[in-house]
Structure formats: structure tokens, C-alpha cells
Structure 1
Amino acid sequence: MKLLNHELIGRVPEVEKEASQQVSSQKSKRNKTYPSHQPTEHAEALKGLLAALPTEPEMNGIFKTKSGWWNSWRESFGLSWGDEGDSSLEVFAIRTFQTGHPALVGSLLLCFALSTGDFANYLSSVEHWILNNDELAGSIYGLQCLMGLGLCFMSSLQPRRAWATYRKANTLLQLAGIHRTHRKSNSLDTIFWQLFSADRWVSLLIGLPYSVPENLCDLYIPPPEEESLVNFHYRHLSILTGRVIDCLQSDKSPTLSTVTGVDEKIDEITAHLPFGYLDLEQIRRCRDAKDRHTRAFRLAHVHSLKAQPYMPLFLQGAQGDKQEYSRMACVRSARTLLEAYLLLHESDPAAARTDNSIKQSAPSALTAAVIVFLNMLGYGRNDAAGAVQERAAEKVYDDGLIERTLIALNSWSEDQPGSLSGQCHATLKDLVKSSRGLHKGERREIVVPYFGRVTVDRKEGPSQAADPWLETSSGEGPLLESNADSIAAWPALYDDFYLTYSGPWTAQDDYVGGLVDNADAAAAFDWIAEPGHGFCQY
């Protein structure tokens, strides 16, 4: 494969000539920073990256059949790869070969990894030649590459590497002073907010502190009339993600007043969106697919943040008004989050299967489904006798919601059990199946990645049905029948079932030691990094 004599350069389709001309008109400006002929000190890096490229027939196959995610992905992450004129993955590849910057070649390799799911073949070269080279990684193309590398690490079940990658990228931003001067350039401003937000997103997901101190950064966000509403909302929520992490990472259990304060701030920012913008029914009626996609993601983002700070109070399992309010708030947001993702899936299942931005949401969907599931089994509840019948309809709906989530996760996996979505599907299925099939005197421990360990006990001895509705759940519903991996229908939920939770979202004094000493607990936040393994299986 020869970089500057690649056959693709002379084979630009007629429909893409306009985009190619735009790239050429900008070439002289780009070359001031990134010349086509790279310095000799980067020749070895360029050679190593080129060696990892697929053959030309394989590359053409990817362009034709596996690159449909390109536009939605770039829109979701603000053109993190390529210029605005790069209307397809093939056009981006052409410009990469014309420009010859090693970090652009690294980004192209990441695109091939996302297209094929073959992360083992591509990520190691990018990690070796770009991530470990501060000069290349610290360039604009390099920082864009690190943004994509972190997302690929998430997709390949390596969240801690993603966290470390974003930590290094933000360090390079600060070394270059970009955290203070990013508003001088649109490209710098875009990459700063991408990496600032990604650092907080991954930190929240795996229960670790964020790396960028807010008081040292220029975090000015133009008012809604000067900025797009989506950017305005997303950037403010990125800052508020830090407040959620502060609640969860505090050495003391969060108080209800602190949590509700964060909740109210999220509502204040969301109030700037047009009336009904995040109304689920209005989103369902939206005919513009792109607008529906954007609004559903905004809805999921809001309720992901709103659910998280209430989780410790809900998972304490204690009784009282504070716990009951927290449980209701947490479950309500978890339901809405699932409804938003299911709307994206069910409105166009074929498109959802190839949309990497939806697949990246699998861990959030898994966590929300576990919250709904625990609530359905009565975790943390102390219902009065008269409330049981009132909850029957809620249980029916929640059961269907979990089944639909299983179907969606299985669909997103594209028959790849080791993928991010595939492993989330397997974990949720295992949790539900183990609880449904538990016999007297048995105990099951299920490790839920990004969440913790759930233990289900069923005591020996006589018992009576605690919920009349569950006694009638004898047949599989139509949604369940449509799932190729269908699981047994619910038996009656008896009063000898006991649920316990162990994980980072509770203020247990002995949890840190347990996480260090217990392989099962550690597995919840430390997925196996070797290719082809995915989650730990127990």
C-alpha cells in the first residue's frame, strides 16, 4: 500500500467531485500545519500505520457495505473526524491518503475497526504509533484520533483504557494551553468540548473521578440565541456531569438535598429547549428521522444524568421517605431513558443496528434496565397492602420494557455475542433468567458491568405469593415470543426472595476492600481487555 500513489486517489466518483474540490481549496491552509510530506521522524509511525491497513479489495468492501454509520456518527460527535466536505468514509479515506498525516491514517484505521468490529486488528497500531507519541497525539488530527480511540476502546469492552486515553488527551490539551484558548478556533473549540465531555462521560460510567478541573478552563457557553440549542444543552450537561460525579465520588453518602439540587440544575438547563422538545409522544410523532434521533438522544442524556445521583440512595435498600422518593425518581428516569433508546430502535431497527452512537448507549440501557428490574422485584420497597394491586399495571409495563430492551440489545449486537451490545444483552438476560429460575435455598450472584453485583437469595421453607399479578404471568407475551433468545416466563414472586446489592453506588465501608480482593466485584468495572473475550463469565 503506497500512501501518495494509492489507486483511490484517481478514482473519485463524480458525485463526490464537489466535496473533493472543497478539500483541495482548503489544502493549502491545512498544509501550513500538516504538510503532505511528513517529517522524517514520523516516517516509521506512518509505515507502521500503513501496514495495518486492509487490502484494497477489503477496503472497497467496507466502503460499499459497512460504512453507513459515517454520517450519523460524525453528527453525533460534531465532525470529530474529517472536514465538513468528507461526505462519506471513502471521501475521508481519499483525503487521508492525499494529506498523509499519520494521525489521520490512525483515524482511518479506527473507522475500519468500527465498520468491521475487528478491534484487535486495528487498535494496537493506533495505540502504539499515535497514543504513545505525544507530538502526533497533541496535534489537532492527533486529538481527534484520541477522541475516536477512546470510543473504540469503549466498543471493544476496554473502558479503563478509554478513561486513560481521554485523561491523556486532556493533559495534552492543557499542556498546549487549549483549555484556555480554544475559542480562538472552531476546530479547537470543537475538540476541547468533545474531550472535556468524553472525560466526564466515561468517568461517570465506570465510577472514577474526572480529570479536568473546571476552574482552570474557559467554559464560556454562548447563550441559546447565539449557539445551536443542541450544543448549548449538551455542553451545559457536560459541566453538570461533573456535579453528578462529585455526588457519587464523595467520601460521604450523598444527601437528598444535594441530589435534588443537581436534579433542579439539570431541569433549569433543559428548560431552555423549545416546549415539548423532549416530550416522548411528540418525538414519536416527529417525521424527520434526524430530528427524532437528536431529540431522543437528548432525552436519554437528561435522564441518564438524573437517575445516577439517586442510585446510591435507592440502592441502600433502607426504608424511609427519603429512600422512597429517591427510588421513585431513579426508576422514573431509568424508564424514560429506556423508552428513548427503544424509540430509536423500534422506529428503524435496521438503521439502529448500524448506528454506532446507539450501540455506544448499550451500557446506559443495561444500567437503566437493571434499575427497573430491581424495582420490579421489590428492591427497597415497603408497600402497604393496598398498594400491591395499584402496582400491577406498572409491573406489566416494566416487564414488557425489559423484554423489549433484551430484543433491542440483541439486535444491536448483530449476532456478535462478544460485542458491547452482545455482552450487555447476555448480562441482562442472565440476571432475569437467574432470578426467574431460582429454587428454594438457592443463591445467585450476577456481576453487572458498570453497575455492581446483584445477589438473589430464596430461603427454604413454606412461602406464599406476595404479588397476585405475578401468579397470572404464565405465558410468554408476543414481544417475548419474537426474541430468538426467549427466556422462561415469570413464576409467582414469593415473599422468600431477598435482593442485595454490592457495588460502587453504595456507601459501604468494606466495598473498596471487597473490590480489590474479590474478582467478581472487580469484574463489574474491569472488563477483560483481550480481544474476543468481553465480559467475565461466571
Structure 2
Amino acid sequence: MVRHHGLTHEPAVNHEGGDLEEEPAEADERAPFVSMLNKAEGSMESHSQITRPSHQIPSRKSPPFYTQSSSDACLKLRSVLPEYDILISTLAKNGAWWSSFRQKVQAICQGSYEDLAAFAARAYTSNDPAELGMLVVAYARSTGHNYHLYGLVDKLAIPDSEHSYSAEAMELLLLLAKAYSDIGQPRQSWMMYRKGLAISEVMGLYRREMVSPHLKSIWWAFYHGDRFSSLLLGLPYGFNDAHLGPTVEPYNMPVYPEQRFVLRCASIAGKIIDRNMMPGKPSSASSMLLDELWDECGL
């Protein structure tokens, strides 16, 4: 079930220096009432709370501030992991799925690739609940059982409304969605994609002016996953293409052939869902239009 999150201004990441710059999010001129509420709420806070940004999107260059609850979460997550040597051995024997996951995500995000052994070595001593949560999911997935740990990770490592959402936390949601899909739980996978999509909207990642390529690519990964999981389950999708502008192709960031192909397929999947959700029998004209779109997509 998607948690409700407070609407706040979200900063964008400056990739040249790793600093964070304030960027207007959802509470702008298009939502004047929400903006007014935010200002009224801010006036009631203490001076220290006002001068400190309420939410930040930390990057690996700029470590996030870890609270006591984060430390407690890391202790609980680390307690379910085996000794380091056993962990690495398990991942080495049964971790081939990681490469497939990263390659699929890379086709959408065009992000950097980190093999499982390198990630495990880095995350094992991490104080970031999201990174440690990813390691727990990777371990559970590699053992072929212990799938109950997915729910524990969702509970402990995904921030609630009182904390900021990091890029690592969003990547953890993507990994959980993939992991649930791999073990034959498409509804749980859909929930993870839908949760990530909703959080991404609150963060304003869908906006064309979003300047962080990494965060924007995370948005596209949730957009793609939500479309195809919704199509699989016969459910409505979570975001309307009309809100993206004249094209669904990424704006102000490199577009690769694989990425363009995947996103076009996701857009067409949305049109198929629209047709399937219409009351009554779909018209032959709508089916012919979809066939033409598939032909244009190169399928």
C-alpha cells in the first residue's frame, strides 16, 4: 500500500560539485493552495527548522544525514545477513541474476554498472539503510528462499514521510519490484513500482526541467515498470502521458536507441491499457491504430 507523503520542495542535484540546489517541485504556481499551506506551515516552525531544508536528495558524493532510526534500521538489517565470507560465497554462486537486473535497468536508465561482488563489499559496512537493504534483497534472492526478508527491507529501509528519499532508496524500490517479479509475485511487484512512481511524482522527477540525469532516469524506470506490470495484471497505469508534453522521450538528457525503444514500447502499452479499460468492446479502428504504432516502433 502506498504511503502518503507530505508535499515539499525537492532540491536538484548539482553533478559538477555534488551539492544540492533548491528546485521548485510540486508546490508551485500550478498548485497555489498547496504553496500557501506550505508557507503557513513553515511560519510555525522554529528558526533552525526554517533555515535547514526540509528534504534533500542525497547523492553518493554528498552522504545523507543518518538519524537514530537509520542506525537502528541498519542494525536490524545487518543482523539478518550471514558472515561476510558466507555472504560473498552465496552471491558468487547464485548471483547471475544481478547482471540481468542491472542490464535491464541500464537499458532504461543508462546508469553505471557495478557488479554484485563490488556492491556487496561496499554495502556490507554501509550506514545507509537503502544500500544495506539492497544487499539484503540481493542475498535473499541469491539463496532461492528467505523471501520474507523483502517485506522486512520494505519496512525498515524505505523512508517514511518524515525522511527524505535518496536515489539509493528509489533504486531499492526498483530492486524489490524486480525481485518480487522473479519469484512469481506480480502484484507485489506492481505495488513496488506504483509506490516508486507515486514517490517520484511527489519529488517532481517527472518534470521536463528536472536537471539531474540520474534522478530523471529513475523516474523513467518506474514509468516503464508501472506500465508493463499494469498491463500484465489488467490494471490502470499510474501516470498519464499527456502530462509529459508532446513526447514521452526524455527531455534535456541523452537518449540512447535502447532507451528510446523501451520507452516507446511503454507508451504504447499505456494505449493498450486505455483500450482495454474502455467499457464495451474495443473498436477495430483502435486496434488498427495500435498495430500501426507497433510497426512504427520497429516490432
CA distance in 1, matches of 2:146, 2:241: 33
Paired-residue identity, %: 24
Corresponding position of 1:177: 204
Cα shift at 1:156: 2.6
Give per-residue Cα distances to partners, 1:204-226, cap 9 Å, x unaligned: 00111111122223654269xx6
Instruction: Give 2:77's aligned amino acid.
Output: L
Pairing 1:130-169 to 2, within 5 Å after superposition: 130-131=157-158, 133-134=160-161, 138-169=165-196
CA distance in 2, matches of 1:245, 1:47: 43
Corresponding position of 1:118: 145
Cα shift at 1:135: 5.6
CA distance in 2, matches of 1:141, 1:132: 11
Corresponding position of 1:256: 284
| Aligned pairs, number | 241
CA distance in 2, matches of 1:190, 1:49: 27
CA RMSD, aligned part only? 2.9
TM-score by length of 1: 0.41
Corresponding position of 2:11: none
TM-score by length of 2: 0.71
Corresponding position of 2:27: none
Corresponding position of 1:100: 127
Pairing 1:229-248 to 2, within 5 Å after superposition: 229-248=257-276
Structure 2 CA distance for partners of 1:189 and 1:119, relative to 1, 3 Å: farther
Corresponding position of 2:117: 90
2:63 aligned residue (25, 34, 40): 34
Pairing 1:284-303 to 2, within 5 Å after superposition: 302=299
CA distance in 2, matches of 1:99, 1:181: 33
CA contact (8 A) 1:137 1:143 kept: no
Unaligned runs of 5+ residues in structure 1 are 1-25, 271-301, 303-538
Give per-residue Cα distances to partners, 1:411-442, cap 9 Å, x unaligned: xxxxxxxxxxxxxxxxxxxxxxxxxxxxxxxx
Structure 2 CA distance for partners of 1:266 and 1:250, relative to 1, 3 Å: same
Pairing 1:230-379 to 2, within 5 Å after superposition: 230-270=258-298, 302=299
CA contact (8 A) 1:244 1:262 kept: yes
2:241 aligned residue (214, 217, 234): 214
Cα shift at 1:118: 1.6
CA distance in 2, matches of 1:210, 1:96: 33
Structure 2 CA distance for partners of 1:60 and 1:164, relative to 1, 3 Å: closer
Structure 2 CA distance for partners of 1:231 and 1:155, relative to 1, 3 Å: same
1:76 aligns with 2:104: yes
Structure 2 CA distance for partners of 1:245 and 1:79, relative to 1, 3 Å: closer
Structure 2 CA distance for partners of 1:58 and 1:99, relative to 1, 3 Å: closer
Give per-residue Cα distances to partners, 1:70-110, cap 9 Å, x unaligned: 323211111899x7362x21101122245421111111122
4+ runs deviating over 6 angstroms: 26-29
CA distance in 1, matches of 2:70, 2:90: 27
CA contact (8 A) 1:63 1:90 kept: yes
CA distance in 1, matches of 2:271, 2:122: 40
Cα shift at 1:66: 1.4
Cα shift at 1:42: 1.5
Unaligned runs of 5+ residues in structure 2 are 1-16, 20-57
Cα shift at 1:131: 4.0
Corresponding position of 2:92: 64
Corresponding position of 1:491: none
CA contact (8 A) 2:248 2:264 kept: no
CA distance in 2, matches of 1:205, 1:221: 23
Cα shift at 1:125: 1.4
Which deviates the most, 39-48 or 166-175? 39-48
Instruction: Give 2:192's aligned amino acid.
Output: T
CA distance in 2, matches of 1:33, 1:91: 20
CA distance in 2, matches of 1:233, 1:54: 41
CA distance in 2, matches of 1:121, 1:55: 19
CA distance in 2, matches of 1:44, 1:140: 21
CA distance in 1, matches of 2:162, 2:193: 16
Structure 2 CA distance for partners of 1:213 and 1:85, relative to 1, 3 Å: closer
Structure 2 CA distance for partners of 1:236 and 1:85, relative to 1, 3 Å: closer
CA contact (8 A) 1:182 1:189 kept: no
Cα shift at 1:134: 4.2
Structure 2 CA distance for partners of 1:27 and 1:115, relative to 1, 3 Å: farther
Structure 2 CA distance for partners of 1:104 and 1:155, relative to 1, 3 Å: same
Higher relative contact order (CA closer than 8 Å, sequence separation 6+) = 2
Give per-residue Cα distances to partners, 1:361-390, cap 9 Å, x unaligned: xxxxxxxxxxxxxxxxxxxxxxxxxxxxxx
Cα shift at 1:179: 1.0
Corresponding position of 1:43: 71
CA distance in 2, matches of 1:80, 1:97: 27
Cα shift at 1:202: 0.6
CA contact (8 A) 1:74 1:80 kept: no
CA contact (8 A) 1:78 1:190 kept: no
Structure 2 CA distance for partners of 1:97 and 1:137, relative to 1, 3 Å: farther
CA contact (8 A) 2:70 2:128 kept: no
- Structure label with greater radius of gyration: 1
CA distance in 2, matches of 1:67, 1:213: 36
